Amino acid sequence: MTFTEQFLAEAAEILKQIDVAAVERVAAALAACRAGGGRLFILGVGGSAANASHAVNDFRKICGLEAYAPTDNVSELTARTNDEGWAGVFEGWLRVSRLRQADALLILSVGGGNLENQVSPLLVAAIQYAKTVGAKVTGIVGRDGGYTAQHADACVIVPTVNAKHVTPHAEAFQAVIWHLLVTHPALKQAETKWESVR
């Protein structure tokens, strides 16, 4: 088997193992956020930050859901990192955004945050802050899901089928699942361009 065949076989196996009920719970939570006049804050680091930026576009344009990613403002992100430290940058951003009970977080992460190992502590702090104001926490994460999976109201864990490929599969399937969500009848409001061209 070539590497390409193996990698694609792993992707096919992940698709078979995705927890469909978890995806439906995330869709329901995001639909409730929109119905309640809430905003969606999409948080990710590294490749997941790039995914967050793309997902913001889709949730706004296709679903009519007011959405933001703090990593889209590199000036504020780097100022907060420089002045206050990396671990608090998302929490500080959410405080200024006046995160409230009607709002929701969507965490995109490979590991979901882990304080013990000091991996993505800024995600953990953001989730903790969201809980204090009563905002819903959702996620699409890999591996065991870490802090996000333990504390989210609804979370999809991308199954690990090969421990050597956790990161690429987790980040790739974030895109698959958020595209599923923005196409979900509970969320989709606008026709996508190519589907509207006959």
Residue 197 has pLDDT above 80, yes or no: no
Q: Where are the beta strands (DSSP E) in 69-151?
A: 104-109, 136-141
Mean pLDDT confidence for 57-65: 98
Residue 154's contacts (CB-CB under 8 Å, 6 or more residues apart) are 22, 25, 26, 28, 29, 136, 138, 139
Mean pLDDT confidence for 41-69: 97
Query: Which structural domains are found in the chain, ordered by start?
Result: 3-189 (3.40.50.10490)
Residue 79's contacts (CB-CB under 8 Å, 6 or more residues apart) are none
CA angle 124, 74, 147 (to 5 degrees): 10
- Name the pTM for this structure: 0.95
Q: Where are the beta strands (DSSP E) in the chain?
A: 40-44, 67-68, 104-109, 136-141, 154-157
> Which of the four pLDDT bands, split at 50, 70 and 90, describes residue 13?
very high
- Give 81-97 pLDDT, tens digit per residue: 999 999 999 999 999 99
Q: Hey, which residues does 141 pair with through a beta bridge?
A: 109, 157
